[in-house]
Structure 1
Amino acid sequence: MQATDLMPPAPRRPAWRERLALYLDLIRWDRPAGWLLLLWPTLSALWLAAGGWPGWHLLIVFVAGTILMRSAGCCVNDVADRDFDRHVKRTAQRPVTSGRIGTREALAVGAALALVAFALVLTTHPAAVAWSFAALAVAVFYPYTKRFFAMPQAVLGVAFSFGIPMAFAAVRGEVPVLAWGLLLANAFWVLAYDTEYAMVDRDDDLRIGIRTSAITLGRWDVAAVLAFYALHLLLWTALVWPHAGGPWFAAGVVAAAAQVLWHARLIRERTREGCFRAFRLNHWLGAALFAGLALQLALG
């Protein structure tokens, strides 16, 4: 008999804790890069719409709302992609795909999170409330575009940029042309980093028949990613400069451009590790642009 035979079994976690752990895995709680990618352009729009500090109320609404809606989107995405994800090594163990959470349960979690986010939006301007329905529709529609659209990342670009017009609506009660221009500029950034993400799974996606920008672009994928980055920075800078141009904002743009050059090195060989690292660290590009904008509006 070994000493380990005399030891009592390790206590099992309570059922509610195991369920909570599954829900946190479902919404990617341990992977904040996803909601940070949404947060930085939304905060930039919030600061730009307000001409500086927007106040604690709107800041809390949009930070919490961004996290909640990204989490709800994960629930919908995993249900929509469950038949594809089981054939991809990186996603095969997701809670819905592996059967540890049922589709109805996952959708119920997503609906609950979306309702909390909607309750937060109700405390802002009615224009923001109205636009929130369009934002939800695009977010729900996106996962299914992988079945018929050659570049579903373009739809994701709209979904991940909708915080921009909503921020303007919450502050000003309207969505000016500037907001839509910023949405377009940000959509090019989403195209860049989500193509990097798609490059990670290209072999699996080709095998199972899913459509992505990495497959559509083929051998031009790296060049296209860099072009998307360039269009994003050029459009974003051109649109923001008349309202917050100056040395601080310029420094933010330079810092973002330096990261693009770094990402070019990471993805040039198209390795899974390099492409995934480039995607995972992309939120620092958005953080640089927001920091430059916020400092420029605060310090002049």
Structure 2
Amino acid sequence: MQGNAPTPDGQVSDAPQDNWVDLYAPAWSRPYLRLSRADRPIGTWLLLIPCWWGLALAIFDDQTPRLFDLWIAVGCGLGAFLMRGAGCTWNDITDRDFDGQVERTRSRPIPSGQVSVKQALFWMILQALLGLAILLTFNRAAIALGVLSLLPVAVYPYAKRFTWWPQVFLGLAFNWGALLAWTAHSGSLGAPAVLLYLAGIAWTLFYDTIYAHQDTEDDALIGVKSTARLFGTDTARWMKYFLVATVSFMGLAVIEAGLPDASLFAMLVALAGPWAMGWHMAWQLRGLDIEDNAKLLQLFRVNRDTGFIPLIFFCAALLA
């Protein structure tokens, strides 16, 4: 590993050099925004995109768009930013001792001394309360789901201590928005939302295994578990399984949502989404090199585009 020492201004080592936090945010706010990963927005996108999948598929299911759906889309965007920030802050609080021993993460705000644990706790609570204010604008079923989502969020940072599959727990947390946004539109949970949720979990296993390969050496030294360490040189084969699961569950979700009311053309347009997403994931596999950290980070980040692909087709199907 190389080049991961903290920069003089406190920039986190794996943040893009031209990120807005380090360029434009007031100096006093930067440690807190870094705790929230605002300097690395890819995580917010990966949390938000399943929300928009769920909303689009819920409209596709009942063929009844409403003006409130615009607020659901915007509210999910704001909520994803806030709750991803709160979750990352919680993760950094629980992992502060581990982060100090891993080269890529020792520049994070807590191990590098930019903020104290008490300050981080206050920041986490503030973000969570703002997220709650947005959640309370949705219907009761969606509110209940939102509160329940705190369970996988709370457990995830500890998962790497007791299982080789912490990425499953990340998937449970990061794709909860598919259930919530569907329910915010429809008023109740449906089978297509659950299938979409399973597709998202498989996708998370795909992209976060790529991400975790950056830390396998340090993780082995400190005893942290991950699918990257579990799969090792067999990673590509496992990634193919996750690709197939993602496409299959998402395809089933589309079929379940579209029958019997959607037209054949609209159904075909919507089904093209998981198909195209699968091709994009296959493209990532062709470029996978588990020994090249720069390439691993690049592939992880392109998953924002991967997630947008089916969303584009779902939205097009609504107009078909």
Q: What's the TM-score once normalised by structure 2's chain length?
A: 0.84
Query: What is the aligned partner in structure 2 of residue 255 from structure 1?
Result: 276
Match of 1:125 in 2: 139
8 A Cα contact 1:154 1:191, kept in partner = yes
Identity of aligned residues (%): 33
Structure 2 regions of 5+ residues with no counterpart? 1-24, 259-265
> In structure 2, what is the equivalent of residue 21 of structure 1?
30
Q: Does the CA contact (< 8 Å) of 2:191 and 2:256 recur in 1?
A: no
Give the superposition deviation at 1:94: 0.4
Tell me, yes or no, if structure 1 residue 102 matches structure 2 residue 116: yes
Q: What is residue 226 of structure 2 aligned with on the other side?
A: 212
Deviation at 1:105, TM superposition (A): 1.0
Cα displacement (A) at 1:213: 0.8
**SS class of match (2:121):** helix
- Paired residues, number: 284
Following superposition of structure 1 onto structure 2, how do residues 150-165 of structure 1 map, counting pairs within 5 Å? 150-165=164-179
Equivalence for 1:185: 199
Which structure has the larger Rg?
A: 1
Structure 1 CA distance, aligned partners of 2:207 and 2:32?
26
- Output the amino acid matched with 1:63: G
Residues 1:86 and 2:120 aligned together: no
Q: Which runs of 5+ in 1 are unaligned?
A: 1-15
C-alpha displacement of 1:270: 3.7
Shift of 1:40: 1.3
Structure 2: distance between partners of 1:191 and 1:76: 21
Counterpart CA distance in 2 for 1:162 and 1:262 is 26
Shift of 1:26: 1.4
Tell me the secondary structure at the aligned position of residue 166 of structure 1: helix
Q: Distance in 1 between matches of 2:287 and 2:169?
A: 25
Report SS of the residue matched to 1:90. coil
Could you report, residue by residue, the CA deviation over 1:78-136 in whole angstroms, capped at 9, with x for unpaired residues? 11111111111111110011121111211211111111111111011011111112101
- Deviations 1:138-193, CA, capped at 9 Å, x for gaps: 11111011111111101111001111111122112211222222111210000110
Q: Judging changes above 3 Å, is the alpha-carbon distance between structure 1 residues 181 and 253 closer, same or farther for their aligned structure 2 residues?
A: closer
- Aligned counterpart in structure 2 of residue 44 of structure 1, from 38, 50, 53: 53
Asked if 1:136 is matched to 2:150, the reply is yes
Question: Which TM-score applies when normalising by structure 1?
Answer: 0.89
Partner residue in 1 for 2:287: 266
